[in-house]
Chains A and B, each alone.
Chain A
Amino acid sequence: MTDIDISQYKITEEPYYEAQGNEIKLYEAAYDARMPVMVKGPTGCGKSRFIEHMAYKLGKPLITVACNEDMTASDLVGRYLLDANGTRWLDGPLTTAARIGAICYLDEIVEARQDTTVVIHPLTDHRRTLPLDKKGELIAAHPDFQLVISYNPGYQSMMKDLKQSTKQRFTGLDFGYPDTKVEAAIVAKEASIDEETSAKLVKVAHAARHLKGHGLDEGISTRLLVYAATLMNKGIEAKEACHMALVTPITDDKDIRDTLMHSIDSIFA
C-alpha cells in the first residue's frame, strides 16, 4: 500500500486550456476547502481537460475513473484477490486516491449504477473517510484528496440521474461550449490551423447546435471541431474533413445530414 508510485498520476506537461469564465478561480477556491465538485456539460466541451489542467496547476496527482454500467462498488474501493498464498487486498482507484491525496475524477458518473455511487458518500461530507468493510479498515482521506465528478445532463433520462443525496454533496460548475471567439481560438491552437478557418468550423458547429432537440441529441462538440481541424491540417479538403468529422459521427438522419452539408457548403465557399 505504501509502494504506490505517486508520480505516475502526476501530470507533467501543461494541458492546454482556455478559460471560458472564472471557473479556474472558483475551482481553486473549492479545492482550497477540499470541497467535492461536479462539472456538468455536454460531451466534448472540455470538462476532462479542465480537470487535468487544474490538477497540473495545483500540482496534485489525478486519478481518473471512467464509469460504466457494470462497475461495482469494489471496482472503486478495492477487492480481495486470490493469491498463491491465500488472498491479497488490492486497492481500487478511489481508495488509492484517498490514500495518496490525489484528485479523484469520476468521469460520467451517471453511467454507474446508483448502488455504486453511494460508496463515495462518506468521502464527500465532513467525515472524509472511506470505510473498507470487507477489509475492516477505515481510511481517513489524505488532506490533499478531492473528489470530482462529471456528468452530462444532455442525455439525462429518468433512468440516468443522480440521487438527490449524491447531488447535494457537491458544488457544481456548469460547462457549455465556449464562446465563438474562444472556441475558434481553441480549435486553431489545438490543431494548429489559422483562426479564419477555425472560425468557420465554429459556425458550422453553431448551426448544428441549434438542431439539438430537433433530431440531434447533442450538437457538434469542440472535440469534433478539433478533429475536423486536424484533418484539414493533414491536407484534407475542408468539406470532406467536415463530412468525416462533423456530420457522419453525429447522425444517420438524412435530412439532418443534408442540412448540415448545406451549411458546410455555404460557410466554406
Chain B
Amino acid sequence: MTTEVTTEYPHHRKLLKCSFEQIEDCFDDYMKDALRNLTNDGVEKYLAGASQVCMIGRGWEPVSIYLEEMPQMVHRLGDEAILEIVSTHVWDMSRSPNGKAIPPFMQCLPEACRRLGTLEQMQHFFAILFSMLETTTTSVHGHHKTHSSQGFPVLLEKIPYLLSQLSLEGLKNWIEYGVRNYHNHPERQKDYFAIQSADSKAMLQRERHGTLYMDHERQLDMYMRSMWQTEEYFVPYSLGFDELRKPQPYYDELGMRIPDVYDDLNEVSGINRYRMTIAHMAAHKRWTTRQVADNLSPFQRIAVEAFEDSRVEQLILREYPGLRKYFCALHPVPIEGSCDSEKESCVRHRLAMFSRAILDSNHGYQNPDILEYVEKFWDALKDGAESNTKEMLNLAISFTARTRRQNDLAPKVRFENTEVDYRDDNRHMWVFIEEADEPEDDTSEPQSKETIEPEGLPPRHYHEWDYNSTSYKPDWVTLYESLHAPGNPADIDKILEKHSALANYLKRILDLLKPQHYVRQRYQEEGSELDLDVAIRSIIDFKSGAQPDPRINMSHRHDGRDFAVLLLMDLSASLDEIPEGCTQSILELSQEAVTLLGWSIEQLGDKFAIAGFHSDTRHNVRYHHLKGFSEHWDDSVKARLANIEAGFSTRMGAAVRHASHYLEGQKADKKLLLILTDGEPADIDVTDDKLLIMDTHKAVEELSAKGIYTHCISLDKKADDYIQDIFGSNGYTVIDHVDKLPEKLPMLFAALTS
C-alpha cells in the first residue's frame, strides 16, 4: 500500500485505513461518486466509516458494499448521519456473536433505504432489527451473549421482500410475533423468519398493507348480489409469493379468482379495485358468448379480447355510469407514438390505445386507423344496441389486418402502459374444438369427487389469547370434534340405581324447581284480579273529568324456565387419579355426578348438552359430544357417557370457545356453560403456566359478551390460587370433598338456575 498507490485522490486514500488489494482498482470510482454526493465533512465520515468496517476483519465484501452504496444512500436520504449509524452498527455487530450477519446486513441496506426514504424511517428500521437481534441472541451463563441469533441472517435476506409487503409498523408486529413465540427455539425461529412456517405466512398476511380480500369478503358478496344479481364463489390468489409470472384475475366454473390484496392505485381505493375487477368479470358472464378459437391467430385473439373487453365495459357503464371514473383511473394511458414499430412489436400498444379511446372520449389520439375503428365500434353499439361477441370478433379481425406491421412478430413486445389491471385473462371466451397437444386444463376435471371424505367433521381453528402481547394468535389451536364412541348404557343405569336414595331426594328438590313462578301482568282490561294502584288512578282521572284508563286489572302467568345448559367435562389424564380418602377415581365420580345431573335436567326439561374435551398440544384439541341439545336422556347418550376415558391435557380456552359456538345456536333466555374440571388449564407445549389461564379467562370474557354465563366446578383443592383469575369472583365453586360430587353437582345446578 505504500508505494504503488496510483490514485487521483492520494489525500483521501490515506484517510481510508484499509489494505485489501481489491480496493486499489475501484477506489477512484468510489471517490468520484462520493465527492459528487457528499460534502467534505461527509467524505471524511465516509472514509472513517469504511475504515471501521474494514477493521472488523470480515473480509472485503462488507467494505465494498459500504464504499459502493453509502454515497447513494446519503443522496437518497439527504442526511450524512447515516454513514456513522451504519458503521457503528456494523462495528457493534462484529463485537457480538452475530458477525456472520454483517454481509447480509450490508446487502439489505440499499433496498431498505429505497423503500423507507428518510433517515427517521431508517432509524426506526434499525431499532426494530437490533431489538430483534438483542432478544434472539441467547446467553447461556448469563454474562455474555454467547449464541448468535439464528433468525437474524434469515430475516435480513427477506427484508427487501418484507418491506415490499409490509409497512414498518407491520414489519415490527411481524418480527415481534416471531421473537415472542420462537425466541428459545432456533429451528422454528429460522423457519419463521424465512417465511416458511404457516403462522409466519398467516401473520404476514394479516399485517399486509392494502385492502385484504379476507376483510372484505362479505362486502364483495353483497356487491355481486345487489348490483349483478349473481352469487359468485371467490377464490383469492396470492400476489405475494408468485414472482415469476404475475397472476391475473380469471373465472371458470369453480369461481372467480381474484388477488388476495389490492393496494390503492391512482386514487382508486382497494375495495373499489375489487369491485371493478369483479364487475368486469360479471359483465363478461352476462354478455360474452364463447367463440371458437381454432381459426384465429394469437394476435387476432388478443385483439378480439380487447374489443370484447371494451364492449362489456360500455355495457356496464350504460347501467352504472358512475363507474367511469374508476375505469378511467385504472386504465393505462398509452402515449401515442411512444412505441416504435420499427424496433418492437406494438400490437399491445395499439390495442391499449384503442381501448383507452373507447373509454375516454378526450383521448386526443390522431392515428386514423384507431379513430376509424373507434367509430365502427360506436356504430355497433349505437342507439342502445348491445352488439355481441361475434360482431366484436369480426371487427377485431379486420382491425388486426388493417394495422398489421412487419415487426408485430418481433420478440420484443412493448408492454408498458398496456396492462389493464382490472381485466381478467379472458380464458372463458374461447372454446377450442381440436384437442390441444398439451394436457387439458385440470380445472375442467371434477377432481374433487375423487378425494376421500375425511372422517368426522373438518377441524376448526380457534385463536388464542397471548397476555404477553395482549393480542390473539390467529388460528392457533386446532380442534377436532366427534361423537364419542358408545359403551354400555347399562353402566349408567347401575349408577342411577346405586344412587337411588339421592335421586329421590333430588327429585323432590326438582319438583320445587319446576316452573311455578308467577309473573304479574299488569294493565289488563280483563284479568283475574283488580290492580288497585291502577284502579285508583283511573278513578282519580274519572273524577277530574279525564278519560280513565280501563285497563285496571291484572293477571298472572307461569314463568317457564328457558335455559340452555352445556356441561363441558375436562377429560384430561389427571382424572384417572384416585383422590385421598376416596375409593373411586375422579373420572368415575364425575361420571356419576354427570349421570345424576343429566337425569335431573331431563326431569326439568331444560335444554341440555354434555361434551368432554382434552388436548394434546395446540394441534390436537379433542372435543367429544356426549349429549346433544336435541337428544333426550336415552340409551345412546348413556352409552356415550359410560365410555368416557381420561387422557392428555387441559387446553380449556379452545374447548370453551367451541362450546360457546353451540350455545350461541340455542334459543333460550339464559345460557349457561358449566365446566367440570380437576385442575388448571395446561398443555404440554406451553411452558408459561399463566398463558392458558389468561387465555381461558379471555374466552370466558368473550362468552359473557355473548350473554353466556360460565360457571366452573373445580375439584382442585389448590384451585383458589388461580380460579378467580379465570372465572371471576362468583363464577366458580370448588368442591373439596370430591366424593360428594355426585350429590353436589345437581344441587349446584339447581341453585344456579333457580
Q: Which residues of A contact B (CB under 8 A)?
A: 72, 74, 79, 81-82, 203, 207-208, 210-211, 214-215, 255-256, 258-260, 262-263, 265-269
A211 proximity list for chain B (CB < 8 A)? 222, 225-226
Q: Is B275 an interface residue (CB 8 A)?
A: yes
Q: How far is the CA of A207 from the CA of B228 in the complex (A)?
A: 8
Within the complex, what minimum Cβ distance (angstroms) separates B531 from chain A? 15
A263 proximity list for chain B (CB < 8 A)? 223, 226-227, 320
Q: Are B227 and A266 in contact (CB under 8 A)?
A: yes
Q: Are A208 and B550 in contact (CB under 8 A)?
A: no
Q: Is B221 an interface residue (CB 8 A)?
A: yes
Binds A, one of B183-191, B321-329, B421-429, B618-626: B321-329
Q: Are B225 and A210 in contact (CB under 8 A)?
A: yes
Within the complex, what minimum Cβ distance (angstroms) separates A160 from chain B? 16
Partner of A214, one of B225, B272, B321, B548: B225
Q: Are B322 and A259 in contact (CB under 8 A)?
A: no
Known: A82-B548, A263-B227. A256 touches B222 (CB 8 A): yes
Q: Is B525 an interface residue (CB 8 A)?
A: yes
Nearest A-chain residue to B323, judged by Cβ: A266
Q: Are A269 and B321 in contact (CB under 8 A)?
A: yes
Q: Is B181 an interface residue (CB 8 A)?
A: no
A268 proximity list for chain B (CB < 8 A)? 322
Q: Is B609 an interface residue (CB 8 A)?
A: no
Q: Are A269 and B222 in contact (CB under 8 A)?
A: no
Nearest A-chain residue to B538, judged by Cβ: A82
Q: Are B218 and A260 in contact (CB under 8 A)?
A: no
6 A-B pairs whose Cβ atoms sit less than 8 Å apart in the complex: A210-B225, A215-B222, A259-B226, A262-B275, A266-B320, A266-B321
Q: Are A79 and B321 in contact (CB under 8 A)?
A: no
Partner of B320, one of A214, A259, A267: A267
Q: How far is the CA of A260 from the CA of B225 in the complex (A)?
A: 11
B320 proximity list for chain A (CB < 8 A)? 263, 266-267
Q: Is B544 an interface residue (CB 8 A)?
A: no
Q: Are A214 and B221 in contact (CB under 8 A)?
A: yes
Question: At the interface, is chain B mostly helix, strand, loop or mixed?
Answer: helix
Q: How far is the CA of A82 from the CA of B546 in the complex (A)?
A: 10
Within the complex, what minimum Cβ distance (angstroms) separates B341 from chain A? 37
Q: Are A259 and B548 in contact (CB under 8 A)?
A: no
Q: Is B430 an interface residue (CB 8 A)?
A: no
Q: How far is the CA of A81 from the CA of B548 in the complex (A)?
A: 8
Q: Which residues of B contact A (CB under 8 A)?
A: 218-219, 221-223, 225-227, 229, 271-272, 275, 319-325, 525-526, 542, 547-548, 550-551
Q: Are B321 and A259 in contact (CB under 8 A)?
A: no
Nearest A-chain residue to B216, judged by Cβ: A255
Within the complex, what minimum Cβ distance (angstroms) separates B137 from chain A? 45
B226 proximity list for chain A (CB < 8 A)? 207-208, 210-211, 259-260, 263
Interface centre among A208, A210, A267, A268 (most CB of B within 10 A): A210
Partner of A79, one of B222, B325, B550: B550
Known: A74-B525, A82-B548, A263-B226. A269 touches B322 (CB 8 A): yes
Q: How far is the CA of A214 from the CA of B220 in the complex (A)?
A: 12
A81 proximity list for chain B (CB < 8 A)? 547-548, 550
A266 proximity list for chain B (CB < 8 A)? 227, 320-323
Can you name 20 extra interface pairs (CB under 8 A) apart from A74-B550, A81-B548? Answer: A72-B526, A74-B525, A82-B542, A82-B548, A207-B226, A207-B227, A210-B225, A214-B221, A215-B222, A255-B222, A259-B219, A263-B223, A263-B226, A265-B322, A266-B322, A267-B319, A267-B321, A267-B322, A269-B321, A269-B322
B323 proximity list for chain A (CB < 8 A)? 266
B542 proximity list for chain A (CB < 8 A)? 82
A72 proximity list for chain B (CB < 8 A)? 525-526, 551
Q: How far is the CA of A256 from the CA of B225 in the complex (A)?
A: 11
Q: Are A259 and B223 in contact (CB under 8 A)?
A: yes
Nearest B-chain residue to A70, judged by Cβ: B523
Within the complex, what minimum Cβ distance (angstroms) separates A31 from chain B? 33
Nearest B-chain residue to A82, judged by Cβ: B542
Q: Are A258 and B219 in contact (CB under 8 A)?
A: yes
A265 proximity list for chain B (CB < 8 A)? 322
B321 proximity list for chain A (CB < 8 A)? 266-267, 269
Known: A72-B525, A258-B271. A214 touches B222 (CB 8 A): yes
B223 proximity list for chain A (CB < 8 A)? 259, 262-263
Within the complex, what minimum Cβ distance (angstroms) separates B25 from chain A? 61
Q: Are A255 and B548 in contact (CB under 8 A)?
A: no
Within the complex, what minimum Cβ distance (angstroms) separates B453 from chain A? 29
Within the complex, what minimum Cβ distance (angstroms) separates A125 from chain B? 25
Nearest A-chain residue to B229, judged by Cβ: A210
Nearest B-chain residue to A214, judged by Cβ: B225
B550 proximity list for chain A (CB < 8 A)? 74, 79, 81
Q: How far is the CA of A79 from the CA of B538 in the complex (A)?
A: 15
Q: How far is the CA of A259 from the CA of B274 in the complex (A)?
A: 12
Within the complex, what minimum Cβ distance (angstroms) separates B667 from chain A? 10
Nearest A-chain residue to B321, judged by Cβ: A269
Within the complex, what minimum Cβ distance (angstroms) separates B315 from chain A? 14
Nearest A-chain residue to B542, judged by Cβ: A82
Nearest B-chain residue to A208, judged by Cβ: B226
Q: How far is the CA of A215 from the CA of B217 in the complex (A)?
A: 14
